[in-house]
Amino acid sequence: MSGAPNASIQIDDAGRLRHLITTEGLPRTLIERILDTAETFVPAAGAPPKKVPLLRGKTVFNLFFENSTRTRTTFELAAKRLSADVINMDVAHSSRSKGEDDLDTLYTLEAMGADIFAIRHPENGAAARFAAHAADNVAIINAGDGSHAHPTQALLDVFTIRRHRPDFANLSVAIVGDVSHSRVAHSTIHALRTLGTTDIRVVGPKRFLPDNAESLGVTTTGDIAAGLSGADVVMGLRIQRERIAGDALEGVADYHERFGLTASNLAHAKPDALVMHPGPINRGVEINADIAYGNQSVILEQVRNGIAVRMAVMAIIAGNSNAR
Amino acid sequence: MSGAPNASIQIDDAGRLRHLITTEGLPRTLIERILDTAETFVPAAGAPPKKVPLLRGKTVFNLFFENSTRTRTTFELAAKRLSADVINMDVAHSSRSKGEDDLDTLYTLEAMGADIFAIRHPENGAAARFAAHAADNVAIINAGDGSHAHPTQALLDVFTIRRHRPDFANLSVAIVGDVSHSRVAHSTIHALRTLGTTDIRVVGPKRFLPDNAESLGVTTTGDIAAGLSGADVVMGLRIQRERIAGDALEGVADYHERFGLTASNLAHAKPDALVMHPGPINRGVEINADIAYGNQSVILEQVRNGIAVRMAVMAIIAGNSNAR
Amino acid sequence: MSGAPNASIQIDDAGRLRHLITTEGLPRTLIERILDTAETFVPAAGAPPKKVPLLRGKTVFNLFFENSTRTRTTFELAAKRLSADVINMDVAHSSRSKGEDDLDTLYTLEAMGADIFAIRHPENGAAARFAAHAADNVAIINAGDGSHAHPTQALLDVFTIRRHRPDFANLSVAIVGDVSHSRVAHSTIHALRTLGTTDIRVVGPKRFLPDNAESLGVTTTGDIAAGLSGADVVMGLRIQRERIAGDALEGVADYHERFGLTASNLAHAKPDALVMHPGPINRGVEINADIAYGNQSVILEQVRNGIAVRMAVMAIIAGNSNAR
């Protein structure tokens, strides 16, 4: 997917957020508006999450063509805290399914009175296809499509970074793992670039490194010491065990030693570097439990912030829809 | 199932709707009351669906012994827009299960405080069995039982027709497809007959035509030209691919050409004939996508109206229950 | 699991209920407070269940690592009637899963803003493990862990008994079935003992009888006549058919004759003995349908009371949490 069509599809004629499909090409002003709005939804320390009536009377469909109880739950909670009615729909997606079937589902659920869809789909570009065919009053939020994009995860990542390290232009970020297949990494890299970060290093074994590093605007290395050297933020990615288990040269233990977020590997980064991970973690694979729950980690903050960021996206899109 | 026991089970001593099991034998006054009430729940053009407090404090169980995410969602939305609490229960139904097990489930859920059940079940007559054993303050709505009945689908069909062609007595309706196994077709035919329609044609290959055409009050034909000739309404039924795929003489393409709702087949009907389908459609099988989303089609109106009709049924039944 | 650590984990420094993990070691005053509170939630005869705002703004997660639609529904209804937001999460639990994975799940859902978890888990001690690691403002309710405990079922059992036979000290209770593997039986025995009942008989074939009868404070017998002789309460347990079906000497029919709650076996108990069962029943196996729905049976009362008891537990725990 090139950025241009997605970028244009998600912004209305007045330059406001219409859908959220990708962070690629999403203007800095819109990203900052989402982050600023999300700040209002983060509960104060020790306080319960806020419940606000911004989506009262609206219906949010969590339309998941790929099973993800955890991500579905974050959208469900965000929508309920905005007082929306929420419908969870897990839809089987077989290799036989066609894009046309998806559109029939879209049109049918629109006719039931859906206002917002959070869509998880195994195919790259699926969310954009839904957006291209959505009715005027219906918005699509991409909850992850193939290895393409996962924009709400990226926004919660930069939101979490901003709360601790607001000077994006002078930030060094290292992303460790299978960036080549990671929608999270792609979306987070785009968001960081737009916010002004220029020093983004992708670290991992050769076959995990993206082919398009230059156009992404990142540097790549297979050397964890070089990749983490002086980094302000170190982000681990969840590893599909299947991708490394069968590999004779590089089993799980070897991967953990070479690329896992461990005390010895982290020693290469700044002493107060933030440790991040999109979750769920594989202990002893891409991260060590002591690090995951250690005092540099903001992993659970990411989860908490994820609700606030998703509330912000839905509230902004619904507000824009009402204003049209 | 004969009509008499079902008809009597679903009406209380004062002649009011008590359960909704079948459209067979359902008095015209009750059908019209449902349709009139449903009119009040259809959102104005461009307006969001209404949310009303008619079922506040009531608990609606969607008790599905057969998987149907789509139908379940229509009942869930209808109940939520009436402000009910909704519990979704997907219950495994094995061939070993006995009717007694169903009753144990009914009694247990009644004890939990259920007010209304929307029940989908693979066996003919299951909804009537639940109704026969339901407590005084509990109502059963049949959400489809075997090949027997699917009354809310039938009511949304006649509701949709009435909005465009209110003179049921002078209507020619053609139903195309496997009527013999279709609970939708059976229920819609009963509703149309009660509302005064006398010209109902069933069109399809011989083995799809019902054995009891005469008692149903329909004519049958294997000739699409004759069946659609001068029709005001043409209703396609979803085809189970398995029923035609293995058939040497009549594959999917052949079925589509002979019985699909295509431009050339529809040319036999009136030029402004309504095109209907209960959904979900199989593009290129029983209907062509251009027709499904063309200007004669009311298929998406059917979906939208389905929420209003289900709200009406629940609201009327709950009102009658309160009045007893 | 010994009682002491569980007992201490579920009570806070002020002696108030903090989590609900087990009835073993749960003080009588706390049990009675739960039962008294539950009384306020039982609907009056013919009246609808009450809906109260005690958990408004709170989020209850039904976190089920083992499928149980029925139990999950009772917690969902109880939470909704307290006005909580409810999230249902069915989580796959494989034999490969480690306790650490559970903790990662706990920490993640806490970060999303969970207040109360109702947890069903296949492993003994799982609920206590969650409680040991829960955040200060988060409470765990054990919805059944392995063969260890099912405290809300035990509390609804003693609640139901108290409504009919309040003099626990002078009660004879017979529990019939596979007590050795039954978390329900274990929890109910502990609750009865704490409330003062000394005459508790466990009845069943030898391999179903608990090894630790003496420490449990029960007597055991394989003779149904002796076991039920003069009993005030006869409680049947659901039989796993697999446990008896393969047994040459003692098939289902034989089990039903020897240990089933039938008219002839019940004749050994007092004429007005209460008949109880945690449900769902296996008709013709551990109970006869005429008995299950006969005038001695309080089985459906148990279901109804189960909602009230679960409401009471959640309301008390939430109130204690607010007070800390």
The whole-number mean pLDDT for each consecutive block of 10 residues of chain C, a chain of 324 residues, reads 61 96 98 98 85 94 94 97 95 77 95 97 96 96 96 98 98 97 96 98 95 96 98 94 57 91 98 97 94 97 97 97 82
**How buried is C324 (Cβ within 10 angstroms: 0-12 exposed, 13-18 middle, 19+ buried)?**
exposed
Residue A258 clears pLDDT 50, i.e. is over it: yes
Residues written for chain B = 324
User: What CA–CA distance (Å, rounded) separates A37 from A55?
Assistant: 15
The answer to whether the annotation marks B19 as part of a ligand binding site is no
**What are B142's strand-pairing partners?**
B119
| B116-121 vs C172-176, strand pairing mode | unpaired
Of the pLDDT bands very low, low, confident and very high (cuts 50, 70, 90), residue B274 is very high
- B113 with C48: Cβ contact below 8 A: yes
Chain A residue numbers with beta carbons less than 8 Å from the beta carbon of C57 are 48, 51
Q: How close is the nearest chain B Cα to the Cα of A278, in Å? A: 30
- Looking at the complex, does the CB of residue B271 fall below 8 Å from at least one CB of chain C? no
| Whether residue A56 is found in the same domain as residue A115 | yes
| Whether residue C172 is found in the same domain as residue C254 | yes
Residue A243 clears pLDDT 70, i.e. is over it: no
Please tell me the predicted confidence (pLDDT) of residue C201. Answer: 98
Please tell me the predicted confidence (pLDDT) of residue B323. Answer: 79
**What are C139's strand-pairing partners?**
C116
Please tell me the predicted confidence (pLDDT) of residue C178. Answer: 94
Which of left, alpha, beta for C204 (phi over 0: left; psi -120 to 50: alpha)?
left
| Whether residue C13 is found in the same domain as residue C146 | yes
Of the pLDDT bands very low, low, confident and very high (cuts 50, 70, 90), residue B4 is very low
Residue in B50, B52, B290, B300 to test binding to A, most A beta-carbons within 10 Å? B300
Continuous H helices in chain B: 3-9, 28-39, 69-81, 99-111, 126-133, 151-164, 183-194, 213-216, 224-228, 241-245, 252-259, 263-266, 289-292, 299-323
Chain B residue numbers with beta carbons less than 8 Å from the beta carbon of A113 are 43, 48-49, 77, 304, 307
B to C CB pairs, distance under 8 Å: 50
User: What CA–CA distance (Å, rounded) separates A100 from A129?
Assistant: 10
Which residues have CB under 8 Å from A260's CB, separation 6+?
Answer: A236, A284, A285, A286, A287, A288
Residue A1 clears pLDDT 50, i.e. is over it: no
- C112 with A74: Cβ contact below 8 A: yes
Continuous H helices in A42-140: 69-81, 99-111, 126-133
Residue in C87, C96, C105, C112 to test binding to A, most A beta-carbons within 10 Å? C112
- A48 with C113: Cβ contact below 8 A: yes
Residues B202-221, mean pLDDT to the nearest whole number: 95
Q: How close is the nearest chain C Cα to the Cα of A128, in Å? A: 28
Instruction: Write the CA distances from B100 to B62, B103, B107, B109, integer angstroms.
Output: 19, 5, 11, 14
Please tell me the predicted confidence (pLDDT) of residue C260. Answer: 97
**What are A121's strand-pairing partners?**
A145
The answer to whether the annotation marks B150 as part of a ligand binding site is yes
**pLDDT tens for each residue of B68-79:** 999 999 999 999
Residue with tokens 């008219």: C263
- C87 with A69: Cβ contact below 8 A: no
| Whether residue C173 is found in the same domain as residue C186 | yes
**For A50, nearest residue in chain C (alpha carbons):** C57
**Contacts with A, B 189-248, CB within 8 Å:** none
User: What CA–CA distance (Å, rounded) separates A210 from C318?
Assistant: 49
Please tell me the predicted confidence (pLDDT) of residue A323. Answer: 79
Number of domains chain B is built from = 2
- A69 with C57: Cβ contact below 8 A: no
The answer to whether the annotation marks B270 as part of a ligand binding site is no
Q: Residue A322: count other Cβ atoms within 10 Å of its Cβ.
A: 10
User: What CA–CA distance (Å, rounded) separates A283 from A261?
Assistant: 10
CATH code at position A128: 3.40.50.1370
User: What CA–CA distance (Å, rounded) separates B111 from A314?
Assistant: 39
| Whether residue A109 is found in the same domain as residue A55 | yes
| Whether residue B218 is found in the same domain as residue B230 | yes
| Whether residue A135 is found in the same domain as residue A184 | no
Residue A3 clears pLDDT 70, i.e. is over it: no
Global pTM?
0.94
Chain B residue numbers with beta carbons less than 8 Å from the beta carbon of C43 are 113
**pLDDT tens for each residue of A19-74:** 999 999 999 999 999 999 999 999 888 788 889 999 999 999 999 999 899 999 99
Structural domain of A215: 152-302
| Whether residue C98 is found in the same domain as residue C130 | yes
| Whether residue A244 is found in the same domain as residue A314 | no
| Whether residue C170 is found in the same domain as residue C99 | no
User: What tokens were used for C183?
Assistant: 């978390």
| Whether residue B142 is found in the same domain as residue B168 | no
| Whether residue C103 is found in the same domain as residue C200 | no
Residues written for chain A = 324
Of the pLDDT bands very low, low, confident and very high (cuts 50, 70, 90), residue A245 is low
A to C CB pairs, distance under 8 Å: 51
- C113 with A279: Cβ contact below 8 A: no
Instruction: Compare CB distances from C57 to A51, A73, A300 and report the shortest one's residue.
Output: A51
Nearest CA to A71 out of A120, A125, A128, A35 is that of A120
